[in-house]
A and B are shown apart, each in its own frame.
Chain A
Amino acid sequence: MIVETGHFALVLAFALALVQFAVPLIGGRSGDARLMAVGGPAAIAGFALVVLSFAALTIAYVQSDFSVANVWENSHSLKPMLYKVTGVWGNHEGSMLLWVLILTFFGALVAWFSGNLPATLRANVLSIQGLIGAAFLLFILATSNPFARINPAPIEGRDLNPILQDIGLAVHPPLLYLGYVGFSVCFSFAVAALIEGRIDAAWARWVRPWTLAAWIFLTGGIAMGSYWAYYELGWGGWWFWDPVENASFLPWLSGTALLHSAIVMEKRSALKIWTLLLAILTFSLSLLGTFLVRSGVLTSVHAFATDPSRGLFILAILVFFIGGSLSLFALRASSLTQGGLFQPISREGALVLNNLFLTTATATVLIGTLYPLLVEAVTGDKISVGAPFFNMTFVPLVLPLLLAVPFGPLLAWKRGDLGGVAQRLFAAAGGALLAVMIALFLVDGTGVLAAFGIGLAVWLMLGAMTDLALKAGIGNVGARLAVRRFVGLPRSVFGTALAHFGLGITTLGIVAVTSLEVEEIAVMRPGDSLSAAGYTLRFEEISPYKGPNYTEDQGRFVYFDAAGRRIGEIVSSKRLYTARQMPTTEAGIATRGFSQLYVSLGDPTADGGVVVRVWWKPLVLLIWLGGVVMMAGGTVSLLDRRLRVGAPAPRRERAARPVEAAAE
């Protein structure tokens, strides 16, 4: 009964999504306010129905209702409760439902918060949002119904893929989807503007918070996914240039570009067409990511079990939305008016440079990801494009961009003074050079690249701080005035500085780990010791242990610092999940400051030893900490007062104001 209610709610949500698409659109064309008004309530009701549906599936998982095929395939009665719940989206069908849940959630948010939008724009945005929802609901119902039943019901499920039985699954996909799908709002706004044929300053102001919100979530999702892969897969890598990772990175890159170009559009009414195009491209890349993961055209750790009909269906959705929006763009873009002019050396110029670099970087990653598919389709050869390709193309593109970042926020709008800005950045540059020197001294001259990388990171961080200091007037005015000004700075200024600072932190982490990492590998027997990066690791024993749905061999290690003091214990294990007979490696990780000691067990050797791999990962946590700081920056920016206004106060209030004034 609960399961079927969920199923029915999903079907009903599909019908409602169709209405949400058609009625407001017709209303917008004919100027009928009654029809346009349908969009909001339909979006909110649609969201409520998908929530109901999702809740029903979750209940089926929690209660181990194996009469639901999806539960049977991906759950097990002995699985811990947390993984019963997260297992809902640990599979194709359930994760598509989560995707649609978040899509309708954003639709409802737009409906809720857009009361002050021009009626036609609002109707068109909700209509496009409804169309996307209808397409994906149809996809779920037609090819991946999570509510398919089995009769008679099996008594035990087949368990969830053990790699997914981790807290990471609880956080990573929802965050990632919030990001992916959040860009659908920008897309809907862009298409709505094209349908209307007009785009104004207010448009940019409405789109910016949505872009920002999606970007925050996507940043979090990618950082979380990277950390998850790092500790769960047991080989200590944090980024693999895996096609599916790229699929999430692509919308992040173009979303970051969109974030910056939207600023220009709002402030200066320039780059309108470009911003519109970026909004379309960003969501298109999100859709492409969804397609790549689910169609089975790629080999990846993330791939879902494949089914050609699903791939074809998503491809059709992809072609429809990308093709449709780009055709509309081609037809209508020329009718949009151009905005303000600016000099090449200016804030606008800097943001254009940012966009140039980011979109080119996006293009190289896209080419690297799709090239194998293309080659296989054309010649039949199977090739792989891996880290070497991306290191050679992406990294050289990003380095100059990082160097330029501190200049951007300091340049004035319209016409900037590069020399003046450079002067103000003297202190930051000096700090960065100092960092290079210290690094060269400490790493005994072998890691010149590492030293410059560290300098670059310090440059980014100091640059962000310089921006804040200058805007507050620290050094130019009295201390008390400076403090007051600092507190009074718009939140978006803090947001920018924080996000750029976070970028510096991440850069520092990446540079430190890639160039200063120490790796040791040895066959160890109980009692043996191994030294790595000043730490000594002693292998104590290996003992069996039984978890709720797995058995494992736990290797216990004790580690000492250079002085021989015992610091703590590390437990690393080889696990076997019994239901699927699938082994996993559970790395043992000890955190020292921002650095980590990472211990991974290999296979036992014939003579009673076990292969042990130990990494010293200096400052590795900074990679993700930087992501968190970037998210914080985005959030601070999102709280900026200006992003919440930009809409006229309703007339009634306006009329009431003088009365209030008189009353006081």
Chain B
Amino acid sequence: MLMTARERLAREIKALAEKHGHARAALIPIVQEIKHKYRKVDDFAMQVIADQLGIHPVEVYSVVSFYAFLGSQASGKFIIRLCRTISCDMQGKERVMRQMENDLGIKFGETTSDGKFSLEWANCMGMCDQGPAMLVNEKIYTHVTPEKVHEILEECRRSFGVHATEQKEVYLV
């Protein structure tokens, strides 16, 4: 049977509400799963989530916009989050940033035109003794140097080739 993307999304959210419950406490876990899978929580998804939890869509929007990981506009297959807090800052995050922008041809807060990479800042990610640190999706990289940037990006590109558009859903399911 043919199903529109919306119908499929609505069905998926309903299933998530069954799994996490229809109480408001299920809001963040549901949003996290949708965000993880689709890289965004669009207007329609927010309204279905609100409906499932018996709250208003604007409340979903309010919560999503509060949390850095939920409200993020980054839509790349690989979301690179570089730590900008003190210890990583003192260990040279500025140079890593510049190299990253040079190699990808985008600025922080942007996504490459092929949709593969997004660059974002992150606040302290708890790798202060091994900085500069960064997360690529959920994977952590430490002691990042400008020279290592290229290597890390290549690693992403390679895994991208193998897994095509498939996202590994090991952590959130």
**A and B associate in one complex:** no
Interface residues of B (CB under 8 A from A): none
